[in-house]
């Protein structure tokens, strides 16, 4: 069995619920460059939007020691109330995640009890000309997903995170992975990885529809294999609603 993967995610709150002010982003990108220069291959890039700046690291050693070093590099004015870090260990059906508050109580959207049957997490990966068409389409589908009605009581839900290859890094192959995200709330989490060359050549509508169909199939197989008894009917309906021609 392969070694579990450990990810260190540092979530820095922004001054608004979008992408922050221009001066703020400039300071964060300087921080990003400093982290990249210092930690090299342990640094996996950043993402910005939805009210936060995300710093993604893959520790080779103790994640808590790496987090301590990174936090020392963050200017005080960028460490806003609600910022936090997560240490995530994955590699099996069910991931383990530990939250480390950095400033006040963590502000995590994932903690809300009312959920959509299907929702999107971050669309990560650097912007480039090759992936622009796909990312633009994902933004449209993301907005449509946010307009879905909330799931009914007792129904399961699925969160999809899209990793689209860009200028900084790109997956080696297209794949979809599904895991149990929050067992107590019947939440499944999935990651869709799309290489840059696929994003450049594929039809966005067809690619997204196919990926969601496969994620749904794997999700339902996981629920059945683990004998969870979760009802994914509303998730299936949501996928069909978002991808119908």
Residues 132 and 234 in one domain: yes
What pLDDT, on a 0 to 100 scale, did the predictor assign at position 224? Answer: 92
Residues 97 and 122 in one domain: no
What pLDDT, on a 0 to 100 scale, did the predictor assign at position 7? Answer: 87
Residues 64 and 132 in one domain: no
Residues 105 and 125 in one domain: no
What pLDDT, on a 0 to 100 scale, did the predictor assign at position 47? Answer: 79
Residues 124 and 223 in one domain: yes
Q: In what order do the strands lie in the sheet with 43-49?
A: 43-49, 52-57, 5-13, 84-90, 96-101
Count of the separate structural domains present in the chain? 2
Residues 84 and 137 in one domain: no
Domain-ending residue, one of 68, 88, 110: 110
Residues 105 and 118 in one domain: no
Residues 239 and 192 in one domain: yes
Structural domain containing residue 219: 112-243
Contact 180, 226 (CB under 8 A): yes
- The tens place of each residue's pLDDT in the chain, 245 residues long, gives 567 788 899 999 988 877 778 888 888 889 988 998 898 888 887 777 778 888 888 888 889 899 999 999 999 889 888 889 888 887 665 567 788 888 876 665 444 445 789 988 767 766 788 989 998 899 888 888 888 888 998 899 998 988 888 877 788 889 998 988 778 788 888 889 999 999 999 899 999 999 999 999 999 999 999 899 999 999 999 999 988 75
Residues 134 and 216 in one domain: yes
What pLDDT, on a 0 to 100 scale, did the predictor assign at position 198? Answer: 93
Residues 88 and 130 in one domain: no
Q: Which two tokens stand for residue 170?
A: 């790109």
Stated pTM of the model: 0.59
């Amino acid at each position: 069995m392969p070694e579990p993967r450990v990810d260190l995610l540092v979530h820095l709150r922004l001054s608004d619920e979008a992408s922050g002010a221009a001066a703020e982003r400039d300071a964060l990108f300087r921080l990003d460059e400093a982290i990249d220069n210092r930690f090299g291959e342990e640094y996996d890039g950043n993402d910005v939007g939805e009210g936060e700046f995300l710093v993604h690291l893959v520790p080779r050693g103790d994640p808590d020691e790496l987090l301590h070093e990174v936090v020392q590099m963050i200017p005080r004015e960028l460490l806003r109330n609600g910022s936090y870090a997560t240490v995530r260990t994955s590699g099996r059906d069910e991931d383990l995640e530990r939250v480390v508050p950095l400033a006040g109580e963590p502000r995590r959207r994932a903690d809300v009890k009312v959920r959509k049957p299907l929702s999107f997490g971050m669309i990560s990966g650097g912007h480039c000309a090759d992936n622009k068409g796909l990312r633009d389409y994902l933004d449209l589908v993301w907005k449509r997903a946010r307009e879905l009605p909330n799931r009914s009581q007792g129904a399961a839900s699925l969160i999809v995170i899209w990793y689209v290859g860009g200028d900084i890094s790109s997956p080696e192959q297209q794949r979809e992975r599904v895991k149990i995200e929050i067992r107590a709330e019947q939440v499944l989490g999935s990651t869709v990885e799309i290489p840059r060359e696929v994003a450049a050549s594929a039809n966005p509508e067809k690619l997204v529809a196919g990926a969601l169909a496969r994620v749904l199939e794997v999700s339902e197989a996981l629920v059945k294999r683990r004998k969870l008894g979760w009802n994914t009917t509303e998730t299936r309906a949501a996928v069909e609603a978002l991808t119908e021609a």
